[in-house]
């Protein structure tokens, strides 16, 4: 995916992410906590969050660093960062800064950081190892990194079901873990191997269980079609109304099994890997 195309797609997704901020936060909070734990984020530290979107896990780790720390979030989409800045201001997190840029080419902020985080961001890059090596150079000696990807499709029905429905409708979807996209680096150990190739040490990897919450299948589909942007937007844009409605119905049928009373909890899993510079 070209940088210009990625920027356009995430810019377009920003309004949905803003609208569905509580739902996105409810999906991702266990991963944010675990990333902060394995990266040993603590008071007074300097943290760089790559691909921060609307400010997660940037804001969570800013609470952990406290006012004497420094947290910088970078993202391609300025529209995403506008929401992140509003959220930081509402929480009084004055030691957080958000910068628009492409991590593969931009001049990274200085001085060196104690921690680098990358949640669901390196999966959209062609050269994962090269970018991780670049981020290693942005760390102090012994600095920590934690990066996350999605686990394989069978562990992520929240997105695998819609992608299967889109494919049935004739839309172009790509779940190849070897190419940039939602399932890039999804195999067990893939992120750890990339960290090792980039020069990191004391590397480890695990899966983190998550849940995609909604009140019902209708709300679930609205969140996906309006809120996630990148993974589904191009395929949805290419469908006529009849096929789009067929996809919506198929997704509703597919996720119905996860309804528990008045709450829909669709399983999700992330891959998390970490290491030291």
Each residue's pLDDT tens digit, 77-103: 999 999 999 999 999 999 999 999 999
Each residue's pLDDT tens digit, 104-124: 999 999 999 999 999 999 999
* pLDDT score of 1: 43
Is pTM, for the whole model, over 0.75?
A: yes
Q: Is the peptide bond preceding residue 111 cis, with omega within 30 degrees of 0?
A: yes
Each residue's pLDDT tens digit, 11-42: 767 777 787 888 888 899 999 999 999 999 99
DSSP string over 173-223: ----TTSSSTTTT-STTHHHHHHHHTT-EEEEEEEEEEEEEESSHHHHHHH
Q: Where are the beta strands (DSSP E) in 77-187?
A: 96-100, 113-119, 139-150
**Domain 3-156+174-214+269-276 class?**
alpha beta
d(CA 250, CA 161): 8
What residue segments make up the domains of the chain, in order of their start?
3-156+174-214+269-276
d(CA 163, CA 166): 5
């Amino acid at each position: 995916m070209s940088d210009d195309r990625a920027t356009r797609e995430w810019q377009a997704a920003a309004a949905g992410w803003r609208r569905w901020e509580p739902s996105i936060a409810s999906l991702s909070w266990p991963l944010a906590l675990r990333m902060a734990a394995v990266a040993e984020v603590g008071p007074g530290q300097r943290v760089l969050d790559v691909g921060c979107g609307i400010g997660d896990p940037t804001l969570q780790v800013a609470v952990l660093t406290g006012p004497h720390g420094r947290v910088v979030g970078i993202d391609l989409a300025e529209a995403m960062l506008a929401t992140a800045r509003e959220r930081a201001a509402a929480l009084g997190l004055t030691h957080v800064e958000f910068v628009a840029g492409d991590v593969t080419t931009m001049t990274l902020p200085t001085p060196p950081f104690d921690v680098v985080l990358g949640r669901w961001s390196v999966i959209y890059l062609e050269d994962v190892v090269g970018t991780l090596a670049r981020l290693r150079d942005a760390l102090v000696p012994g600095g920590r990194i934690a990066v996350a990807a999605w686990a394989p499709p069978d562990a992520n029905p929240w997105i695998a079901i819609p992608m299967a429905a889109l494919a049935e409708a004739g839309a172009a979807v790509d779940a190849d873990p070897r190419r940039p996209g939602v399932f890039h680096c999804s195999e067990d150990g893939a992120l750890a191997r990339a960290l090792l190739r980039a020069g990191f040490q004391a590397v480890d990897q695990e899966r983190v269980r998550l849940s995609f919450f909604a009140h019902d299948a209708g709300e679930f589909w609205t969140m996906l079609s309006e809120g996630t942007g990148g993974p589904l937007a191009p395929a949805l844009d290419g469908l006529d109304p009849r096929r789009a409605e067929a996809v919506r119905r198929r997704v509703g049928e597919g996720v119905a099994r996860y309804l528990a009373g008045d709450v829909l909890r669709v399983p999700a899993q992330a891959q998390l890997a970490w290491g030291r510079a």
